[in-house]
Amino acid sequence: MTTEYTGAGDPRRSLELLWGVRERPRRGPRPKLTPERLVGRAIEIADADGLEAVSIRRIADDLGVSPMSVYTYVPAKAELLDAMLDRTLGEIVPPGDETSGWRDRVAHVARENWRIYHAHPWLLQVATARPPLGPNLLEKYEFELRAVEGLGLTDLEMDAAIALINGLAETTARTSVNRAQAERRTGLTDQQWWDATAPFLAEHVDSSRYPIGDRVGTASSEAYGSAVGPEHAFEFGLARILDGIEVLITSRRAPDRPEAKYS
């Protein structure tokens, strides 16, 4: 799959699209297109057929208009991609109970990131080193930071903690999505793949050469029903990250205030 990059278009035109400040046509009949409708259709195409299927011509054909009509509202595919990503981020639900413990808040953030990648797998093809600074992305960053606000972390540590959580969700979701896509594209379930692979290994590979790998691999494949276990890796990694953040928080407590608590 081809990796697409946000921030690849004209920065100003992208921001105008993201924030809805582009000047709309004033003459002629009331237009039947809107940026919101075009971006929504692009997301539907990507969800159904993959990011590669998204093009200005495909959107125009689907909506029964000319490509030039689409360009009136969307400068180019690069800016369209920025808007698509920002729109999907608006589906992420922030932690609702502000009085819950910080571990619950951060875990909610992680699980919402995991969920959005499964709802829109094409997001895993989008590199965001230059993030589209739209309203939904900024709102997402704000409520993610609120999950770790007031814990005694520095601003840089707060940013790094959220990046670590989001990275875990992305990495494990990628494995999960790839596993599902492999089954659809090959027509083989994980069990069928293993049934075809195991006889060769049993006949030609001396498992005593790899005693640890054989033991651990057998245990994990039996537990997962697959060669990989992204759901377990996600939950295990999340728990360990939360433990690590808690150790850091505890280390910041003043020695003369052992009763200090962080919510």
Confidence of residue 259 (pLDDT cuts 50, 70, 90): very low
* Nearest-angstrom CA–CA distance, 95 and 110: 11
Is the pLDDT at 261 greater than 80? The verdict is no
How do residues 73-120 score in pLDDT, each as one tens digit? 999 999 999 999 999 999 999 998 766 899 999 999 999 999 999 999
- HSE toward the beta carbon, residue 223, CA cutoff 13 A: 12
Q: Is the pLDDT of residue 72 over 50?
A: yes
Q: What is the mean pLDDT of residues 169-196?
A: 93
**Domain locations in the chain?**
4-89, 102-251
% of the chain with per-residue pLDDT over 90: 83
> CATH classification of 102-251, choosing from 1.20.210.10, 1.10.357.10, 3.30.70.100, 1.10.530.10?
1.10.357.10
Give the model's confidence band at 2: pLDDT under 50 very low, under 70 low, under 90 confident, else very high. Answer: confident
Q: Which residue's structure tokens are 């920002």?
A: 86
Phi, psi for residue 127 in degrees, rounded to 5: -85, 130
Cα distances (Å, whole numbers) of residue 200 to 195, 196, 208, 258? 10, 8, 16, 60
Does the pLDDT value for residue 250 go beyond 70? yes
The CATH H-level (homologous superfamily) assignment of domain 4-89 is Homeodomain-like (1.10.10.60)
Q: What is the pLDDT of residues 140-168, one digit of tens each?
A: 999 999 999 999 999 999 999 999 999 99
Rounded Cα distance between 45 and 47, Å, is: 5
Least confident interval from 95-109, 159-173, 176-190, 239-253: 95-109
**DSSP label of 4:** E
Q: What is the pLDDT of residue 194?
A: 87
